[in-house]
Chains A and B, each alone.
Chain A
């Protein structure tokens, strides 16, 4: 999961913007800590084993077809991940709290809780790169 590594690299940019970063993962507290700890991001990871926020923010589920016959976007992301030394493990996919079909997402929330920007992944590879999200944050907060 190179997304966490990318986000860690972008942490100083986010701090400059005065933003808090919360990475929501599907596991329980222990699983999230173990997984995110690999990227020194345990403090930034929020466990959501019941997938409450995924549902509340309207994140959809992919089809098996979209995983078995990946889009060019997902193929590219997988290739980039492998090249960077990251790979999705089957062991991780089979963990109790992992729903492999859940799609990714991102949101920028103003101080106080108003949603300013929301991205719901349309396919399994549809999570913008961290630097793209940070650029979006700069643009959104400048309005």
Chain B
């Protein structure tokens, strides 16, 4: 994660990044989603 603050994020702040492994095993960053276009992020509460 690139943001090192405990203050809650608010409108206008820079979205924090996340490094993750895709299911193909490749390293990616969440910021790739907003690098070239706007992005909609959805956090799902439940898992299955």
Contact = CB atoms under 8 A, between A and B. Distances in A.
Main secondary structure of the interface of B (DSSP, over half): loop
Which size class do B's interface residues fall under? 35 or more
B28 to A, nearest CB: 8
B47 A107 contact: no
A56 to B, nearest CB: 4
B47 A35 contact: yes
B41 to A, nearest CB: 4
A102 B1 CA distance: 19
A143 to B, nearest CB: 11
Interface of A: 1, 3-4, 7, 14, 17-33, 35, 42, 46-48, 52-54, 56-59, 88-89, 91-93, 95, 97-98, 100, 102-118, 121, 124, 127, 133, 137, 141
